[in-house]
Amino acid sequence: MKRIFTTVTIIALSLFQALPALAMEASSTVSVTTTNRGQVMKDLRHDINEKRKEVRDELKDKMKAVRNEIKDKMKEVQDEFRGKMKDVRDEFKEKRDEMKHKLIRRELMLHGELTAMSGVTAPATLTVKVSDVRPDFHKQWELVSSSTFPGKDKIVTVKVDAKTKVVRRFNGKSGLDELTVGDTMQIVGRLNEDGSVSARVVKDDSIQMTHRVYHGTIGSLDATAKSFSLTLMSSSSVAFMVKTDSNTKFMIPGVTSTSFANLKVGDKVWIRGIVNTRTKIIDANVVKVKLPVVAPAPAPTPTSTPTPTSTASST
């Protein structure tokens, strides 16, 4: 036991003596370790910066490549879009020119004088000398020649078909059979390429259905044409030609079945019908003969009865 204690004591003394040297060695080791750690950290930061720079450079290169690719794609799309837009514009211009060439057909309103007509049933053509046109010729109508445009004082052909509306002055329904050469016309329709007009409305401003009653005296009779001249009672200088037909209604006092044959020169009549104010022609609907005015018989003059007188006799 004593031997063990002695041995432990010796070992402890040896360690106590070697402690300063160990401490110095440990301090040197720590110093070296701290110095290495700083270098390691510095090297590590350097590596990190290098890697970061390398990554940034790589990212920049990739971003640049992506931007260039997007730019190329956008340019490609823009070029394709421009090409398609050019094709669309060219096609539109071609269609527009084609439509202009085919349809120049603006709706026009013409005023003028009827100079001729091909017939009284549709389809037919009217020839009109233009006195006014709306709208006027426009210089932008590049495919319309001013020489074919129906301007003032030009002769234009008006095409009438089954869809054309024919009316009188106040828009009463009419027909081609009521038109007369020389009448004042108003045409609404579309201009054709050859300068003719396809009419939508044909209006004769010279004729009208009137509710006015024309009073006058029969001057002459034409039994063949079933017409007669009428001198107005309001003015002896104004005369109309009255035409009758199977639709004309005759009214003659005291006559049950009346007709044109019952009329006589000198009859006082009143007329109602379709009047052409230019030609002074009335297409009569009604002809009524007035009763003659009979002067009252003069009252008889009373005669005086003579008074009898007595005579004296002498004896």
Model pLDDT for residues 192-227, shown as the tens digit of each residue = 878 899 999 999 999 988 777 899 999 999 999 999
CB 267 within 8 A of CB 260: no
Cis amide leading into 123 (omega within 30): yes
Tokens of 120: 């009284």
pTM of the model: 0.53
Provide the residue-wise pLDDT of the chain in tens; the chain has 315 residues: 556 556 656 666 665 565 566 556 555 555 555 567 778 788 888 888 888 888 888 888 888 888 888 888 888 888 888 888 888 988 888 877 666 555 445 688 999 999 999 999 999 999 999 999 988 776 555 445 667 788 889 999 999 999 999 999 989 999 999 999 999 999 999 888 788 999 999 999 999 887 778 999 999 999 999 999 999 987 777 789 999 999 999 998 888 888 999 999 999 999 999 999 889 999 999 999 987 654 455 666 666 556 555 554 443
Q: Hey, how many other C-beta atoms are within 10 angstroms of the C-beta on 137?
A: 13
pLDDT score for 2: 55
